[in-house]
Amino acid sequence: MVSQEEVNMSSLKWYISALFIIGVFFTGFAQDDAVEFNASVSKSKLGINERLRIDFTMNQDGDNFTPPDFDGFRVIMGPNQSVSHQWINGKKSFSKSYSYVLSPLKKGKFNIRQATVEIDGNTYKTLPVAVEVTEAVSDPNAPPSANDVAEEKLHLVAEVSDSNPYLNEAISVEYKLYISPDINIYDFIPVDNPTYNNFWSQNIEVKRLKAENGLYQGKQYRYVVLKQVVLYPQRSGKLEIEPLTLEVKVEVPTNRRNIFGERVYTQTHVKVATDKRTIRVKPLPEEGKPENFSGAVGKFDFDVILSKSDLRANESLTAKITVNGEGNLKLFELPSLTLPSSLEVYEPEFSESIRTRLSGMKGRVTESYTIVPQYRGKYPVPEVEFSYFDPETEEYKVLKSASTMINVFDGPSSGSDPNTDVNSGVVKQPVAMVGDQFRFLKLNANLVPKAQKEFLGTLRFYLLYFGPLLLIPLAIIIGKRKRERALDVEGNRVRKANRLARKYLSEARKNLDDGDRFYEALERALHNYLKAKLHLVTSDMSKERIRVLLEEHGAGEEEIKGFVALLSSCELARYTPVTAGGMKVDYDKAAEVIAVLDKHLG
């Protein structure tokens, strides 16, 4: 028999073991929780007559909480302390917060600095919080509208790789749309694109929009890279990059909930724009600049390569001047090749193989000279110099090709003959006497008159006689058709539009199967038409300038709107999908607009 005392002792041991296991279990949960200490504000943008709530929250109990100095604000209420314990699915959660209500003292942008707390002997700090105080609002107690929420949680940023480059040094601009996790976006439309005046620009195609996580002003956001551009400044001094403006369709949360307790969202449209960015471009130094410097900036290799050095007269060879590397490969001239005048040299053929990435242009440019020697001899190819500026070392560098010799081993005598000057190209040869150089002229030619054929009554006679009579009906028919065409005003307008379209829009028509190339060619054709008619330069080709010039030349409002709309379609096509039908409509519209404008521009 087991005694009652033994039973009680066994129960006590079981109870102690259970308490130990539970304690270890919950201790393990507590150890798994990482310490978090964060600061959050009720709004990051408020009017000077509004109030701001800021919460400092920790997930483990701490001591010696120290708030920051609220510079630019007055503490209206606080600190208010709150503690929360929750059990969710058998797991305990803890939250402790200190809350303050602040009133702004002045307008401007402020950083609420770090608060500190001690947890388990370690000191933890919050991140600084950025707050902007604006003009007073009409109703500070009213809940923020959907547009207010969207503007606060949506930011378009232009990130510039270098704001202080050298002239013709590559810089990149990335346009990122930062989106708070609290909202969703469905679509966006470019409203105004920067024109990059005083820059050579190249768009980098963003093939797929990919959402990534990142920090913006110390807060967690998702962001999407919308556009990437490589710029080469063409003028030193202070240059500005105009803002990019988008209209974004946004879904933002409201204070209402549905029957399932889920937050209700509402849709709105909001415009966001980047800040105007200023680039301070440094001029290239004058000290040490080579005389033959043609504007190359970057890092390059240089060489002159002959396809062959030994050949016969009247055979051809090729001399290639090649520059490869990273830099402004499309914005400088290659050095010329100087050869003896006795060599026949054709105009060089230019070729390029260039890739433009976010870091700039990289590749090769080449000029190929075709050379045909006429005489036997040795022809020197002197060394060629190429100079460029390296922005990393901030120095000019000069590269030289090796001097070579062209050996023509078979053909008429050349430089080895004492009568031949290779450099001058003048060949002196002795006059050879072949046979009788001067012959006796026969004075009696014994000429016989040639028999004449009868002209009257021949086929040629009748054609010349009756031919003009036969042409009279044909001339009447042609004249009638010309009068009909002259009276056909609509037809003449269409034909004139077709002629102008073929002249200015031929390249765009060739690319109707490729959306990107079509709209690039269409935009270039529209610009070229205005340049030809109004004698403009590239820097004048802004929409506002075009509108003013067309108004000055008497163009109607509808024609001006149509022309500007076409330019906007070309810009919009870079970001939105296009269809073959849409391209055909834009092509026909361009032909019609050109025809109408031509009446005013002459």
Digit-coded pLDDT (tens) for 516-570: 778 888 887 777 777 776 666 544 567 777 777 777 777 778 878 888 888 887 7
* Alpha-carbon span 219 to 125, nearest angstrom: 15
Give the list of residues 6+ apart from residue 17 with CB closer than 8 angstroms, or none.
none
Mean pLDDT, range 412-440, rounded to an integer? 48
Q: Is residue 57 included in any domain, yes or no?
A: yes
pLDDT in tens, 433-452: 444 444 555 666 666 666 55
Give the torsion sign (CA, 392, 394, 396, 402): negative
Instruction: Quickly tell me which residue has 């709105």 as its tokens.
Output: 268
Q: Which residue has the higher pLDDT, 305 or 21?
A: 305
Q: 130 and 150 share a domain?
A: no
Q: Look at residues 55, 61, 66, 59 and name the one whose alpha carbon lies nearest to residue 125.
A: 66
- Cα-only R_g, the chain: 41
Residues found in the chain: 602
| 500 domain residue, yes or no | yes
Q: Can you read off the two tokens belonging to residue 579?
A: 């269809």
CB burial of residue 291 (10 Å; 0-12, 13-18, 19+): exposed
**Nearest alpha-carbon partner for 337 in 404, 281, 394:** 404
**41 and 25, same domain (yes or no):** no
Q: Please provide the average confidence, as pLDDT, over all residues in the chain.
A: 80
Are 570 and 524 in contact, with CB atoms under 8 Å apart? no
Lowest-pLDDT choice from 265-269, 332-336, 357-361? 265-269
265 shares its domain with 313: no
User: d(Cα 542, Cα 231) in Å, to the nearest integer?
Assistant: 18
Residue 372 lies in a domain: yes
Q: Grade residue 319 by pLDDT with cuts at 50, 70 and 90.
A: very high
Lowest mean pLDDT among 64-73, 89-98, 138-147: 138-147
Which range marks the domain in which residue 543 is found? 489-601
Q: Please tell me whether residues 156 and 224 are part of one structural domain.
A: yes
Q: Coil, strand or helix: which one is 488? A: coil
272 CB contacts (<8 Å, ≥6 apart)? 151, 154, 155, 156, 177, 245, 246, 248
Q: What is the pLDDT of residue 448?
A: 66
The 10s digit of each residue's pLDDT in 165-197 is 999 999 999 999 999 888 888 888 888 888 899
What is the CATH number for 118?
2.60.120.570
Where among 408, 425, 446 does a domain terminate? 408
Query: Which strand (E) or helix (H) includes residue 407?
Result: strand 404-408
Written as six digits, the tokens of 446 are 């014994």
Q: Are residues 505 and 533 in the same domain?
A: yes
Amino acid letter for position 601:
L
108: left (phi over 0), alpha (psi -120 to 50) or beta: left
Residue where a domain stops, chosen among 366, 382, 408: 408
397 and 304 in one domain?
yes
453 located within any domain: no
Residues ≥6 apart with Cβ < 8 Å to 199: 231, 232, 233, 234, 239, 241
Amino acid present at 491 = G
Residue where a domain stops, chosen among 281, 309, 344: 281
Residue 431: the pLDDT is: 43
Q: Are residues 582 and 547 part of one domain?
A: yes
* pLDDT at site 490: 54
pLDDT at position 425 over 50: no
Total Cβ atoms within 10 A of residue 350: 10
Does the pLDDT at position 389 exceed 90? yes
Model pLDDT for residues 456-513, shown as the tens digit of each residue: 777 777 778 777 877 888 888 888 887 777 766 555 655 554 555 566 677 777 777 7
Same domain, 493 and 587: yes
**507 and 595: one domain?**
yes
Would you say 587 and 512 are in contact if contact means Cβ atoms under 8 Å apart?
yes
State the CB neighbour count (10 A cutoff) for residue 301.
11
Tokens standing for residue 568: 């906007």
Using an 8 Å Cβ cutoff, are 522 and 566 in contact? yes
Average pLDDT over residues 274-293: 92
DSSP string covering 277-324, please? EEEEEBPPPSTT--TT--S-BEEEEEEEEES-SEE-TT--EEEEEEEE
Number of domains in the chain: 5
Where residue 388 sits, what CATH number does that domain have? Answer: 2.60.40
| pLDDT greater than 90 at residue 591 | no
H/E stretch holding 186 reads strand 184-192
On whether residue 459 sits in a domain, the answer given is no
Contact, 600 vs 552, CB < 8 A?
Answer: no
Query: What is the pLDDT averaged over residues 397-416?
Result: 83
- Residue 350 in any domain: the answer is yes
Q: What amino acid occupies position 308?
A: K
Question: What does the alpha-carbon distance between residue 265 and residue 185 come to, in Å, rounded to a whole number?
Answer: 12
Q: Same domain for 25 and 54?
A: no
- C-alpha to C-alpha distance for 502 and 495, rounded to whole angstroms: 10
% of the chain exceeding 70 in pLDDT: 80
| Cis, peptide link before residue 473, omega less than 30° from 0 | no
Q: Is 442 part of any domain?
A: no
CA distance linking residue 110 with residue 44, whole number of Å: 10
- 177/227 same-domain check: yes
Using the predicted structure, report yes or no on whether residue 27 has a pLDDT greater than 60.
no
Measured CA to CA, the distance from residue 20 to residue 12 in angstroms comes to: 12
